[in-house]
Amino acid sequence: MDDSKIRNMEEFASVSGISRPTVSKYFNDPESVRKSTRARIEAALEQYDYRPNIYAINQNRRSTKNVGIVVPYLADPFFAEIARHVETHVIGAGFRPILLSSHGDPGQEIGNLDSLRALRPAGVLMAPLGRASDRAMVEAFCEEVPTVLFDSNLEGVGEAFVGHDNRQATENIVKYLCRTGEPPVFFEMKTPANPNANRRRNAYLDVMRAHGHEPQVISIDGVGWEFEEIGFRGAQKALAAREFSTNTVLCSNDRLAIGFLSAAYETGLRIGVGAGCAMRVAGHDDHPFARFTCPRLTTISQDYTSIATKAAETLFGLIESDARAASRETTLFDGKLILRSSA
């Protein structure tokens, strides 16, 4: 490798023996130049390791190669995982991912969109906060930048939505619980952060009634994104008050369930399916930590590999066609029962 530094594309073009416009064409799409030309450029690239100035590129191109990824709460490993999958796809498609977390705060969410706007991204993959989101502001953003929503749906906002089939999944696990023991009580936050929680509750109510069981919903207090803590306190209270009409609990999500199990353990209540167990507890999402609770949590998984893939592919399609979606498509993926020892 020659140590003489290349300052710009002009210099690089001259050392590679190719004109600058052609070199520029090469960097925009290596396939767009003749094979022999490509070979000469790549030979020079080996020797001088030049890279085009990203700011100069983005100043002149209509659209950048940036893709925003916005998640509501990165400290939740579930979102960290899905962000990682999305990121991998974004890089694979030749884009540059810009990962932003809203940290559970609607103001930060809008701030993230603002800061993305300044980067003029080719598109954005966004998991909104949900209920708390400033709908009008998000909507305005989506009209400027092609945006695909995932995880949490804001009806009518963005080009498409890709998520989890909360109804199918909830029905699935409720039926499982009914089949193998007493029907479940539904354990949820009174003011849930996103619309998935409502879908889950409604699906629970429907399937319980359809099977002739009396539903019971326990809605606990607490706001914010510290679900484990909220679940812990809620469970302490509810257990002390003996609010549960059956010995089975379906938590609205795994993080609440993690808190629930912790509280149950502290009060000496044995959770699980074996002999000597007083109660069954199930969750929803197959959170990365659900495998390590005590007992290990029976839950229903989100297919977040498929969700991430579909969301990314949908966005890339929009970007390539340089068009807005004809109609807003909604894609839901099925959950799978994950049987462990808690229920």
Partner DNA sequence: TCCTTAAATTTACGCGCGTAAAGTTTTTGA
Partner DNA sequence: TCAAAAACTTTACGCGCGTAAATTTAAGGA
Q: Does 291 bind a copy of itself (CB under 8 A)?
A: yes
Q: Are 98 and 67 in contact, with CB atoms under 8 Å apart?
A: yes
The continuous run of DSSP H or E covering 123 comes out as: strand 123-126
Instruction: Decide whether 28 or 53 has the Cβ nearer to a copy of itself.
Output: 53
What sign does the CA torsion over 235, 240, 241, 242 have?
positive
Q: Does 240 bind a copy of itself (CB under 8 A)?
A: no
Find the binder of a copy of itself among 18, 23, 67, 100 (CB under 8 A). Answer: 100
Find the binder of a copy of itself among 144, 155, 221, 266 (CB under 8 A). Answer: 266
- Mark 11-50 with x for binding to DNA (rule: CB under 7 A) and - for no binding: -x----xxxxxx-xx-xx---xxx-xxx------------
- Residue type present at position 92: G
Q: Does 53 bind a copy of itself (CB under 8 A)?
A: yes
Q: What string of DSSP letters covers 69-114?
A: EEES-TTSHHHHHHHHHHHHHHHHTT-EEEEEE-TT-HHHHHHHHH
* Binders of a copy of itself in range 195-234 (CB under 8 A): 228-229, 232
Per the structure block, which two tokens stand in for 58? Answer: 């983005």
Q: How many CA atoms lie within 13 A of 103 on its CB side?
A: 4
Q: Does 74 bind a copy of itself (CB under 8 A)?
A: yes
Instruction: Decide whether 19 or 305 has the Cβ nearer to DNA.
Output: 19
Between CA 52 and CA 50 the distance in angstroms is 7
The stretch near a copy of itself (CB under 8 A) out of 28-36, 98-106, 238-246, 305-313 is: 98-106
Helix intervals (H) in the chain: 9-16, 20-28, 35-48, 54-60, 77-92, 106-118, 135-144, 166-180, 195-210, 227-240, 254-266, 304-321
Instruction: Decide whether 23 or 142 has the Cβ nearer to DNA.
Output: 23
Strand partners, 187: 218, 251
**Residues lying near a copy of itself in the complex (CB under 8 A):** 51, 53-56, 58-59, 74-77, 80-81, 83-84, 96, 98-101, 103, 115, 118-119, 228-229, 232, 258-259, 261-262, 265-266, 288-289, 291-296, 341
List of residues contacting DNA (CB under 7 A): 7-10, 12, 17-22, 24-25, 27-28, 32-34, 36-38, 52-53, 56-57, 59-62
